[in-house]
Structure 1
């Protein structure tokens, strides 16, 4: 799955050369498809916004199609009173976990920006989302990052599975808004910390927190080595509430009674929805 040429053409006017997101935006698009977040938060709108929203739109459609196919293949096994096996596992959607599909997947996104930067394309994002038919997926909030901890907007009452933070005051978010990241493996992706002195100080602080709070989060930074600035991402994966799925210990899927029950329940739930 890749953004279509038409999509890329329509979002090109949002690209600001000095922002350094020409590779980050497609990466976030693929990260959404990979991690399948139900709730996405973006702080600092711009070129990345439609990529995140488009991925959520495509993913919503893909999950619906996969759910139908998973229910159909599971129902056949139940009707024939057959135990789940490798043939079931490898039928499309191959390797799919019924647990993921038990609840309807209805992705949503919140995008925050105070529109104060004259260099940003944030002010044009709403129009672009309307043009692309993505506005229904994204709630935009006019707010500074520093004001976010005091926000009473109901959009922030439930944690987010993926947060894209393209704003300098990352420390404020980590110290005041960490609760907005899902403790069950939620991802916080931050821009351009790796090569600035201020960013290096923030990274050292994060690493010290990691040492004093073992098991709370994982951290990795990735450099774009060919750039002079705006040239890295840092990913924090929150793990203090992570539940290890443990689907395939030793590399082989375990066709446990729990897996059979989840497949049965999913097949039944899809039947009753129609």
Structure 2
């Protein structure tokens, strides 16, 4: 499992998209986004406004996919090993969802530093970032960003739409990619972004994140106040959570606000590893033929 991005990666990104300009101080926000996406494992990520954070998001998605494939392979190998030990009579008596029981449970739970939930690996993981940029496709910056993503070998996770407006960008996200797992605003027009996006964010813990949510600019504050006013009823009814991280050493782009949508959220507590719990989770596939292929 990868524990972070490489120095070579950081050097390439800084060389092409410097984070140290007066109005683009994102040197800490980008690694934070990387870690959030690594933790949350989103499938569909959208961002409005590209920049220094874009390659970090893409690298996180690639690393997530690499980890997913590795864990899936390890778990499948355990299933195959367990299945090979069974007698023909035992195999014949197994139902499609009953092929991974107690003999392997200790191996899965007792010898791994992090306990994977096998059912998580039963579905496919195909992460992708949909980036929407107001600049036209022939702008030099847009071309430079595309070249950087390709040079980093991250273009397989990337769809860039240039010349977009905040008010109508969601229709460009493929229908099969909805709902949105993680939405990132790095441009402005935050209320319009909220109005366009929130209804399409996954209700059981989907994330909206806004850059630069503390500012001395009056029009910027008024825009944010409208976002917070729209969120207030959902915060009060516990259908959303909000947290702002502040970088106190900077004048601009000094904060990140994260909104977690909970309209369909159900609490789950995985603390009792009983046989019933194991039976419900230790399923990597709907049939033995899938797992043994």
TM-score normalised by L of structure 2: 0.80
Match of 2:234 among 210, 224, 235: 210
- Does residue 281 of structure 2 align to residue 262 of structure 1? yes
Match of 2:35 among 24, 30, 35: 30
Q: CA distance change for structure 1 residues 137 and 123 in 2, over 3 Å: closer, same or farther?
A: same
Match of 2:165 among 144, 165, 169: 144
TM-score normalised by L of structure 1: 0.85
Structure 1 runs (4+) greater than 6 angstroms displaced: none
Greater mean alpha carbon deviation, residues 168-177 or residues 190-199: 190-199
Q: Deviations over 1:196-236 (max 9, x none)?
A: 44335246414533356x13211111110111111001000
Greater mean alpha carbon deviation, residues 200-209 or residues 28-37: 200-209
Q: Deviations over 1:27-77 (max 9, x none)?
A: 111111111111111111111111111111111111100111123335555
Q: In the aligned structure 1, how far is the partner of 2:5 from the partner of 2:37?
A: 12
5+ residue gaps in structure 1?
A: none
Greater mean alpha carbon deviation, residues 56-65 or residues 203-212: 203-212
5+ residue gaps in structure 2?
A: 87-100
Q: CA distance change for structure 1 residues 155 and 24 in 2, over 3 Å: closer, same or farther?
A: farther
Q: Deviations over 1:84-110 (max 9, x none)?
A: 655531333731111211112111110
Aligned ranges 1:61-140 → 2 under 5 Å: 61-76=66-81, 79=85, 82=102, 85=105, 87-92=107-112, 94-115=114-135, 121-140=141-160
**8 Å contact kept, 2:149–2:155:** yes
Match of 1:14 among 6, 13, 17: 17
Q: In the aligned structure 2, how far is the partner of 1:177 from the partner of 1:204?
A: 15
Q: Secondary structure at the match of 2:183?
A: strand
Q: CA distance change for structure 1 residues 211 and 96 in 2, over 3 Å: closer, same or farther?
A: closer
Match of 2:257 among 228, 234, 246: 234
Q: CA distance change for structure 1 residues 256 and 239 in 2, over 3 Å: closer, same or farther?
A: farther
Instruction: Say which one has the larger Rg.
Output: 2
Q: CA distance change for structure 1 residues 211 and 65 in 2, over 3 Å: closer, same or farther?
A: closer
The count of corresponding residues between Structure 1 and Structure 2 is 265
Q: CA RMSD in A?
A: 2.7
Q: Secondary structure at the match of 1:51?
A: helix
Q: CA distance change for structure 1 residues 247 and 268 in 2, over 3 Å: closer, same or farther?
A: farther
The Cα shift of 1:243 comes to 3.2
Aligned ranges 1:159-238 → 2 under 5 Å: 159-196=179-216, 197=218, 198-199=220-221, 201-202=225-226, 204-211=228-235, 214-238=237-261
Q: In the aligned structure 2, how far is the partner of 1:238 from the partner of 1:155?
A: 20
The Cα shift of 1:4 comes to 0.4
Q: CA distance change for structure 1 residues 23 and 208 in 2, over 3 Å: closer, same or farther?
A: same
Greater mean alpha carbon deviation, residues 63-72 or residues 227-236: 63-72
